[in-house]
Structure 1
Amino acid sequence: MKKRWLCGTMALVIGAMAMAGCSGGNSSSSASAAGTEAADSGSSVDTSGAEMTIRVAHVCGTGSPYDYGANAFKKLVEEGSNGRIKVEVYAGDMTTDEVECVEMVQNNNLEIGWVGTGALGGFVPDLGIFELPFLFEDEDNVNKALEGEFGNSLLEQLSAVDGITGLGFHEDGWRNILTKDKTINTVDDMKGVRMRTMQNEVCVATYEALGATPVALASGEQFTGLQNGVVDGTDNSALYAVADGYIEVVNNICDIHHYYSSGIIVASSKWYEGLSEEDQKLVKESAIKAGEEQRAWFLENDEAKIAEYEEKGYTVTRPTDIDAWKEKVAPVYDKMYAAHPTWEGLVEMVRAAK
């Protein structure tokens, strides 16, 4: 479900935050040289004790949440190897298409990709489970699930795909409901609201169950869709809403956290399997740690952004009838279990991760 970022805008947004220094000193101008160096060194040979450069690519701009995580990984690997291993982060300047990024990793043309689960659903259909509403209770539940049986099961499925190794999870944020005119206080307020959604069976079924009218619009059409009244609302994290600009054409934020969007750090299997055991461990542990740091960073900064817009005069609601929302969407789970039999067991893993 990952959208293409407005790279320059996001850099300004995150740059204004207290934790803005996430570009890690890397610049896109070094992309060509770094790529040549990595290619010359060969990415499938035994690199035990050898100096090397790891290229990490994502589709977002410098300073974006993805970039924060990728640069956290860079710092961990470089410090953990005492500078023997260099990490070059490509913030939207190697590719702007996540599927292409995954294919580059799979074909061993890129060591590591920082991507959303939507780009991997074609390889592992079970990753579509992240679209289920209210799948996770809170950030603690997310962390325990991703670091436990649930996350391991998904990473194992992904790593069984030829050419891809799943290293760990990062975050694409909690999604809230943003509306232009109507304030959403309770689940009953959703009735008749024209909600922008992706053309996704789970999302469409969810908004129908809530009494809203789902309207499929591309990510880049949200601003004009809201501005012209094609839709009444959309959903996303505050950080993405600000980055993509449509925060300026809404007036209300329903801080509901009804969806949690995840991402995965993927590595080229050919490259990763050619590393020494020590370097594999360093790369894997650094990816997991970077994902943990980025998840905490995302939550803190997204909440700060909501508070900022509340101070600007936006109406921010925090519904207390969560059980009523969950009751409304319960049939969505039954429908998806019928279509995807493995999902019920995965949901049970999430529920147990508390």
Structure 2
Amino acid sequence: MKRLKLIISSVLVAVLMATAFTGCGGSSDEKKTSNDSYTIKIAHSMAPEHSYNAAAQKFKEIIEEETDGRITVEVYANGQLGAERETIEAVQAGTLEMVVTGTSAMSGFVPEWQVFDMAYLFKDYDEFWTVMKSDIGEKYCHEYAEEKGFRGLGIGCMGTRNVHSVTNPVYDMEDIEGMKVRVMESNVHIKSFKAMGAAPVTMAFSELFTALEQGTVDAEEAVPSAAYTSKTYEICKYYSLTQHFWLPTCMFISEKFFQTLSPEDQALIEEAGDQAMEYQWEYHKQADEESLEIMKEAGTQVNEVKDKTPFVKAAHSVYEDILEDVPHGKETMEEMERMLGRDMYEV
């Protein structure tokens, strides 16, 4: 019976994906006017309570209100249209209009984004937003993304990731030694965790809960709101504030689809995307605070890492190696050094 349910579930997902993607690209080469009615589909991989969904719903609200329903927006949460990579591929191909995702996931398609995946890149939120709201952020959202078939509509933030463990808290480097930590399929993440002494394991987010239950991995790395909405806090009882990865997030539209729109609709969509991602960040900050309190009440042990210097040194030790494979990476590091007035390789 369990196997039958799994088969039926898989078939339903496949049908939903096929239905949703059908028609998205069918008229993708036809130029629309500012009077045309059409539907924009936005997908993401997170739960309905997540800030990705909040951003998508805000975009929907703005677009439908500003156009009096001429443009309708459909939001597909929780991987309804497939895994994160599948939806990004669909946007690139023009068979899905939009996706909300992190730049870590996007770096598999726009490799320039990998520079922002490096651990302990920024010292605080002031540095993070100074860079993201500058010409650097603009270049990454537009020039580099558009070359690969995407257009960034706005930059948000998912805060910083922390180690969320089943086995033990992390206070220092010794505590993470040999720990099997689930990471995304990113060479930057893998190299960073290996440098810090952990044993990174790549797997899809959809497989994580079971992997933690079965002991396939010892820990995940997540922001509080993601740990809460995914329910991994029910298994992982130690949340250590390592704050290792900064998490830019973006709302992307298919460049192929975008070029079919009237100039008026293009301007409206870009403005709505920017507003939606500003809302995402405000929503996320509150969600993280509330999630951490709920996790504490449920018995999660939360601890500070008082001296992050050894972690920072380890992470920075692989910067040069990582940047060898990142297009424009060294150039961007130099730009950030001039902008922030410091050595980006220093501890």
Please confirm whether the aligned pair reaches a TM-score higher than 0.5, indicating the same fold.
Answer: yes
Counterparts in 2 of 1:319 and 1:93: CA distance versus 1, 3 Å: closer
After TM superposition, give the deviation of residue 305 of structure 1 in Å.
0.9
Contact 1:165 1:267 in 2 (8 A): yes
CA distance in 2, matches of 1:319, 1:221: 28
CA-CA distance at 1:221 after TM superposition: 4.3
Offset, 1:75: 1.5
Contact 1:176 1:236 in 2 (8 A): yes
With the length of structure 1 as denominator, give the TM-score of the two structures: 0.78
Q: Over residues 258-301 of structure 1, what are the superposed CA-to-partner deviations in whole Å (9 max), with x where a residue is unaligned?
A: 11233332223333223232221111111112112102211221
Partner residue of 1:287 out of 245, 254, 273? 273
1:157 aligns with 2:139: no
Contact 2:233 2:300 in 1 (8 A): no
Q: Give % identity.
A: 29
Shift of 1:198: 3.8
Q: Aligned match of 1:219 in 205, 209, 223? A: 205
Deviation at 1:318, TM superposition (A): 1.6
In structure 1, stretches of 5+ residues that fail to align are 1-29
Partner Cα separation in structure 2 for residue 65 and residue 109 of structure 1: 24
| AA aligned opposite 1:97 | A
1:103-127 deviation digits (Å, cap 9, x = unpaired): 3333433332223334433432112
Residues 37 and 221 of structure 1: is their aligned pair in 2 closer, same or farther, counting only changes over 3 Å?
A: closer
RMSD (Å) for aligned C-alpha atoms: 3.3
Encode CA deviations 1:161-213: one digit per residue, 9 max, x unaligned: 2x433323344552111122322223443334333334532222222222333
Structure 1 residue 132, shift from structure 2 partner: 0.8
Count residues in correspondence. 324
In structure 1, the residue matched to 2:6 is: none
Match of 2:258 in 1: 272
Would the aligned equivalents of 1:190 and 1:212 in 2 still touch at CA under 8 Å? yes
Deviates more, 1:334-343 or 1:124-133: 334-343
- How many Å apart are 1:49 and its aligned residue? 4.1
1:247 to 233, 246, 250: 233
C-alpha distance 213-164 of structure 1, shift in aligned 2 (>3 A): closer
Structure 2: state its 5+ residue gaps: 1-15, 342-347
CA gap of 1:96–1:171, structure 2 versus 1, over 3 A, is farther
**Counterpart-to-counterpart distance in 2, 1:32 and 1:324:** 49
Does structure 2 retain, via aligned residues, the 8 Å contact 1:175–1:235? yes
Q: Does 1:115 align with 2:94?
A: no
CA pair 211-115 structure 1, distance change in 2 beyond 3 A: closer
* 1:143 aligns with one of 129, 136, 150: 129
Pairing partner for 1:91 from 77, 80, 100: 77
2:63 aligned partner: 77
Q: Is the 8 A contact 1:34 1:88 kept in 2?
A: no
Corresponding position: 1:327 with 2:327: no
**Normalising by structure 2, what TM-score?**
0.79
Q: 1:200-259 CA deviation, whole Å, 9 max, x = no partner?
A: 322222222223333445434444444444443221122222333322222211122211
How big is the shift at 1:102?
Answer: 3.0
Measured in 2, the distance between the counterparts of 1:349 and 1:55 equals 36
Distance (Å, rounded) in 1 between the aligned partners of 2:194 and 2:97: 41
Alignment-mate amino acid for residue 157 of structure 1: Y
**Given the superposition, is the C-alpha separation of residues 281 and 180 from structure 1 closer, same or farther in structure 2, using an over 3 Å criterion?**
same
Deviates further, 86-95 or 142-151: 86-95
| Corresponding residue of 1:166 | 152
